[in-house]
Amino acid sequence: MRCRRVLGVTGSRRPGTCDAPVNGGRVRAGRDLQLIVNASIPITDLGRMAYDRAFALQGETHQRVIAGREHGAASIGEILLVEHDPVITISNRAGAEANLLATPALLERHGVAVARTDRGGDITYHGPGQLVAYPILDLNVLNLGLHDYMRLLEESVLRTCAHFGVETMRDPTATGVWTVREGSPVAKIAAMGVRVRRWVSMHGLALNVATNLDHFNLIVPCGLVGRPVTSLQKELGASAPSFAQAREAFVPILLELLDEALQTATQRRAMSP
């Protein structure tokens, strides 16, 4: 396990550095972009980045994973982590654009951009204080169907929130992760939206750590009328984790779930005639 700098990609981070163990490796966060290699899953921390630039990098990574498969060097894939500049992303789903409530003038006043995207889902907001993970994974290698993959992403957030003492749950009627009150989902703390092409995933999840929740008032989040959003900061107040602490908790949880999926896939292949 080793860390090395990714060349040819630029990003910026908040000042300061931190180290956190990840399955025997180290996550190094600072102003320089870093690649953390865990087993065969590289994790690139893009830092703070505009959505369009990160979307282009997703496409490049997706092509790289497919090329590896075609050249006999199939891998699990790669994971991109990012904190976006304020942006509203709108999918190609019919009617999604109608869930943009703000006028161009209001968006400009708030400093929020708008971008089209090819992920699943409807409309959502990304911005500072939100941990976004884009796993670019070969689902064939992991032997995961789309449903199982989405549940894996949700599980990574459920466990991360539990790590910080926030009780969350799935909502069988709406993809994502929700806080709980009296056994019922209350407010969405993480949104999910993916695209799978040639069985390699793109896009992923967004966990609200210390996000400006007022910006969600510019839209109907995920097209779900009357469903509020929340964040770790709103739920925990002064005891909420920093963005770095949330990232350092989330990464090993996601890697552990992917390790489990790979082990299960390997065992099933070994048992096949």
Band the pLDDT of 224: cuts 50, 70, 90.
Answer: low
Residue type, 98: A
pLDDT in tens, 258-272: 999 999 998 988 887
Rounded Cα–Cα distance for residues 144 and 262 (Å): 9
User: Which pLDDT does position 258 carry in this prediction?
Assistant: 96
Mention every residue, 6+ apart, whose C-beta is less than 8 A from residue 115: 51, 52, 55, 87, 88, 89, 90
Q: Which residues share a beta bridge with 83? A: 48
Q: Is 72 left (phi over 0), alpha (psi -120 to 50) or beta?
A: left
Band the pLDDT of 239: cuts 50, 70, 90.
Answer: very high
Least trusted range by pLDDT, from 24-28, 63-67, 164-168, 252-256 = 24-28
Rounded Cα–Cα distance for residues 136 and 231 (Å): 25
pTM across the whole model:
0.82
One of 3.30.930.10, 3.20.20.140, 3.90.1170.10, 3.65.10.10 is the CATH number of 45-271, namely 3.30.930.10
User: Starting at the edge strand that comes first in sequence, how are the strands of the sheet with 184-197 ordered?
Assistant: 3-5, 34-38, 41-49, 77-84, 130-137, 200-208, 184-197, 174-181, 168-171
Q: Does residue 125 have a pLDDT over 50?
A: yes
pLDDT in tens, 68-108: 888 888 889 999 999 999 999 887 777 776 777 788 899 89
**∠243-249-255 over CA atoms, to 5°?**
125
pLDDT in tens, 7-48: 222 233 332 222 222 332 333 333 333 333 334 799 999 999
Which of the pair, 117 or 148, is modelled with greater confidence?
Answer: 148
User: Which pLDDT does position 25 carry in this prediction?
Assistant: 31
pLDDT in tens, 148-195: 999 999 999 999 999 999 999 999 888 899 999 888 778 999 999 999
- The verdict on whether 222 is a catalytic residue reads yes
Rounded Cα–Cα distance for residues 52 and 97 (Å): 18
Rounded Cα–Cα distance for residues 68 and 36 (Å): 19
Least trusted range by pLDDT, from 8-17, 137-146, 219-228 = 8-17
Query: To 10 degrees, the CA torsion angle through 182, 187, 190, 195?
Result: 100
Band the pLDDT of 196: cuts 50, 70, 90.
Answer: very high
DSSP classification of residue 199: T
On whether the CB atoms of residues 252 and 1 are closer than 8 A, the answer is: no
Query: To 10 degrees, the CA torsion angle through 144, 147, 148, 152?
Result: 120
Using DSSP, how many helices (H) and how many strands (E) does the chain show? 6, 14
Band the pLDDT of 122: cuts 50, 70, 90.
Answer: confident
